[in-house]
Amino acid sequence: MDLSTTYLGLALAHPFMAGASPLSDQLDVVRRLEDGGAAAVVLRSLFEEQITFHTGGKIRQRDPNEAEFAAALAHFPDADAYSLTPDGYLEHLRRVKAAVSIPVMASLNGTTSEAWIRFAARLPEAGADAVEINMYDVISDPRRSALAVETELRDLVLELKRAVRIPIAMKLSPYYTAVGHLAHRLDEACVDGLVLFNRFYQPDIDLTTMTIGPRLELSSSAELPLRLQWIALLHGRVRASLALSGGVSQPADGIKAVLAGADAVQMVSAVLRDGPSKFAAMRDGLRAFMNERGFTSVAQMKGHVSFANAEDPMAFQRAHYIRTLQSWKLAPDAA
């Protein structure tokens, strides 16, 4: 039975890999991820703000030492609060790459396509097998159009493809006007992979202090359906590799991801809860399912329930939407 898959042109022993997170911060933990069965690992993200401050002393084109920008930049961490400096990130990448035999991918997180992107050109020299770009940007300006946002992402991919000679994956959020159209435009720009989806960590309001603060919760299987939908819709309709990220907690979740068409499945929350051995459990669950259902390879199973062969995938989705609403029933005591 062949559990192998290909993601970003890289051969993986099976689809389950470690997503970008603090799990990769320490060499001994990365080794434990590999020993636990992870097929690949994405390093924690290096932020645009770290790079621009390190190279030019500015955050979002503003000098934090100038009084007029102090309030606007006060919510960003101090430079020494980040786990790694940009140079330290490159060194850590080198050490991780030397310590494990699985593919190692770097991650950059930002909102613009400015000079910090040049940092990506240094990643292959440090040993990165690929780079994941996470454009985490809440579009709060009502004058900024959907077309402008999509075009900026497309242009960023074109710029990166000229500067970086390793595969590039774009991690997207689900909040674009037309996710499928954006995926098609990025595919035309020759992006190597799409990661669906980024999790937006919305702040919460502290009623005691009446201030906004961060809120972090680990993901659960409840987040999976949206990701399955778009993996299924894009499988076979874009050239780029597809990775599912978020909501994979149990082997059944990973099996669904592969059936929908995912080339790779990124995991963080489940590993933080259950430990690195979670990867072996996911792999073994996949193998058992394939054996039970007669699949001889992941390639044969992948996309088995995608929408690529449907005459009208969106009509198919609409039909299930209507059937779901029509299936609702009032509880007898609520009538």
Convert the pLDDT of each residue in 291-307 to its tens digit: 999 999 999 999 999 98
The predicted pLDDT at position 66 comes to 46
Q: What is the mean pLDDT of residues 225-239?
A: 95
Enclosing H/E stretch for 205: strand 204-206
Considering the chain, what percentage of its residues have pLDDT values greater than 90? Answer: 60
The Cα 284–Cα 279 span in angstroms is 9
pLDDT at 71 over 60: no
Q: Compute CA 220 distance to the chain's CA centroid, rounded to the nearest angstrom.
A: 15
Could you list the beta-strand ranges (E) of the chain.
Answer: 5-7, 10-12, 16-18, 41-42, 46-47, 104-110, 130-135, 168-172, 193-196, 204-206, 211-213, 241-245, 264-267
Give the phi and the psi of residue 82 in degrees, each rounded to 5. Answer: -75, 150
Q: Which of 29-43, 295-309, 310-324 has the lowest mean pLDDT?
A: 310-324
Task: Evaluate whether 260 touches 228 at the Cβ level (below 8 Å).
Answer: yes
Per-residue pLDDT at 60 exceeds 60: no
Name the nearest CA neighbour of 286 among 248, 320, 230, 231.
248
315: pLDDT strictly greater than 80: no
**pLDDT (mean) for 39-44:** 97
* Pairing status of strand 46-47 against strand 104-110: parallel
With residue 231 as reference, give the H or E element that holds it.
helix 224-234
CA 286 to centroid of chain Cα atoms? 21
Residue 40's pLDDT is 98
Has residue 168 got a pLDDT over 50?
A: yes
The more confident residue out of 327 and 8 is 8
Which 3 state secondary structure label does DSSP give 254?
A: helix
What CATH code would you report for 5-334? Answer: 3.20.20.70
- Six-digit token string for 197: 């989806």
Helix H, strand E, coil C: the string for 96-107 is HHHHCCCCEEEE
Only one residue has tokens 């990365």, namely 30
- Closest C-alpha to 166, from 221, 125, 118, 215: 125
Is pTM beyond 0.75 here? yes
Q: How far apart, in Å, are the Cα atoms of 41 and each of 18, 131, 210?
A: 5, 11, 39
191 vs 218: which has the higher pLDDT:
191
pLDDT at 31 > cutoff 50:
yes
Please report which confidence band the pLDDT of residue 68 belongs to, taking 50, 70 and 90 as the band edges: very low
